[in-house]
Amino acid sequence: MELVTAAEMRALDRAAIDERNIPAIRLMENAGKAVVDEMERQFGSLRKKRVTVVAGKGQNGGDGFVAARLLKQRMAILHMTVLGSPTALKDAAAVSFKRFTAKGGRCHAITRESDVRDILVPFVEKADYIVDAIFGTGLNAPIEGPAATAIAAMNESGRPIIAVDLPSGLNSDTGKVMGTAVKAALTVTLARPKRGLYLGLGPDYAGVIRVADIGIPDDAVAAAKIPLALLDRSYVQPFLRARPRAAHKGTFGHAGIIAGSVGKTGAAAMAATAALRTGAGLVTVATPASINDVLEGKLLEAMTFPVPETAARTLSLQAHEHLLTFAMDKTAVAIGPGIGRHPETVKLVHQLVATLERPFVLDADALNAVAERRDVLHSAKAAIIVTPHPGEMARLMGLTTANVQKERLVVACRLAQEENVYVVLKGAGTIVAAPDGRMAINSTGNPGLATAGTGDVLTGMIAGLLAQGLSPWEAACLATYLHGLAGDLATCRVGQVGLIAGDVMRSIPEAIAQIVGPSPHR
């Protein structure tokens, strides 16, 4: 599914109204109905429930008036408020207001700070649910005055807030909080999800996100050629290939994992096991000779390949020819988990990047090695996927971590295009970027994944999918989605606190089954 900016959403609305002759009021009616329907799906029957709707003067407020009218029809105890005078409503929003009042709806105008205290606060404090229809995608300045006070009162009430399209105060494109913002329990985003729900602080403010079809034709969306996708079940499902009944282990590729050093065999073991859990037929780990026996003790299903090492028991330059031989019969390779930062190991990574002829993944200390000489990426003979966390991305790009986090999409896209690599920028809303300009933001995952080893698991998953013949884009997108979903499934069992990488790894087959099966996890 496409993720849209405010400008792209306005263009889609215009295309539906002007080119497809769909009345604006019909789109608004569909939006309001979708909000109420999603409320009932999430919270159950609204009959006799006390619902306060807080509307603004724009089109988002119009959606709120439709929702209010339908809530009354469904026998909710409704309190309708509007920030400003209802006479300021225009076009479809004005029609929506007239339909609401024609059905006996009563609206309380809030124009002063004192109105928030005298009118809104008593309503929200007694409400079972609050509907936020104040600001939509058009917000472009910090919120102040009665609107800011109203949002504070809504948040302080402790009642579940349902945001229409996106939480008021959240920038639609960046996820930046514009002075203040509604903290929603549920966001019903209209037609297509907005970028800001998945960027910046969006995930902290949006709550559960549901996408509502309001009647904009799919071919109109396709014609818009929106470059940013949301990694959801429907997007990644086609990348999972059926496994032939006559298959054997060679059918599903051979992943090579170049990993490990003294004290860091766990990273190598997790990457290898994750590649197997993701479906690779064979996995072999190339590792420093002196830790080979330790790694064999940790791995039952994967093989090992000892290579020359430094005195510090890391991969040495002498291992280069051995590793080229090692890679010859592999269908994909991963480099980096637990390899350390010894100067010889760093130089070895530079040589491997320039000489490997199989698609490969660079992670962890391999990325730190490349950050010292980013030009080596230009000499690569094969497709590369890099998987930096924000700190590693900052080193690669010569930026601060704060700058990376502020412009995650821009930075990921820039690295992909400048260096002709596929980028998986990890973090809340992991971003995948391709050299040809394709971009995607992941919809799965939770804060429990912020723990040691989960990055090694993701690296192994990408390598395992590459080994099975998926394209770099497919492997990066599918592994990212599955990794987050496995984390969500594991969290359902053990919670976020105390979640470890092994929990995620064990949940990979279940995550795959959920994509293949008839019903999605989210």
From residue 152, alpha-carbon distances to 182, 267, 508 in Å are: 8, 45, 41
Could you give the CA distance from residue 372 to residue 315 in angstroms, rounded to a whole number? 18
254-516: which CATH topology?
UDP-N-acetylmuramoyl-L-alanine:D-glutamate ligase (3.40.1190)
How many CB atoms sit inside 10 A of residue 303's CB? Answer: 14
* Residue 31 token pair: 């939006």
Ranges in the chain annotated CATH 3.40.1190.20? 254-516
Could you give the CA distance from residue 192 to residue 27 in angstroms, rounded to a whole number? 13
Could you give the CA distance from residue 322 to residue 48 in angstroms, rounded to a whole number? 73
Residues of the chain with pLDDT under 70: 518-522
Minimal CA–CA distance to 257: which of 352, 136, 396? 352
Could you give the CA distance from residue 203 to residue 336 in angstroms, rounded to a whole number? 30
Q: What's the confidence (pLDDT) of residue 522? A: 42
**474 with 465: CB under 8 angstroms?**
yes
Place domain 6-226 in its CATH homologous superfamily: YjeF N-terminal domain (3.40.50.10260)
**88 with 81: CB under 8 angstroms?**
no
**473 with 434: CB under 8 angstroms?**
yes
Strands of 161-164's sheet in order across: 107-110, 77-83, 50-55, 129-133, 161-164, 186-190, 208-212
Backbone angles phi, psi at 50, to 5 degrees: -90, 120
Which residue bears the tokens 């907005």? 194
Q: What is the DSSP string of 356-404?
A: --S-EEE-THHHHHHHH-GGGGGG-SS-EEE---HHHHHHHHT--HHHH
Q: What's the confidence (pLDDT) of residue 520? A: 44
Q: What's the confidence (pLDDT) of residue 242? A: 86
Could you give the CA distance from residue 120 to residue 79 in angstroms, rounded to a whole number? 9
Ranges in the chain annotated CATH 3.40.50.10260? 6-226
Q: What's the confidence (pLDDT) of residue 521? A: 41
Q: What is the pLDDT of residues 329-344, one digit of tens each?
A: 999 999 999 999 999 9
Which residue bears the tokens 């429907």? 234
Could you give the CA distance from residue 167 to residue 186 in angstroms, rounded to a whole number? 9
Q: What is the pLDDT of residues 286-300, one digit of tens each?
A: 999 999 999 999 999
Q: What's the confidence (pLDDT) of residue 518? A: 53
Minimal CA–CA distance to 53: which of 119, 131, 116, 114? 131
Q: What is the pTM of this model?
A: 0.92
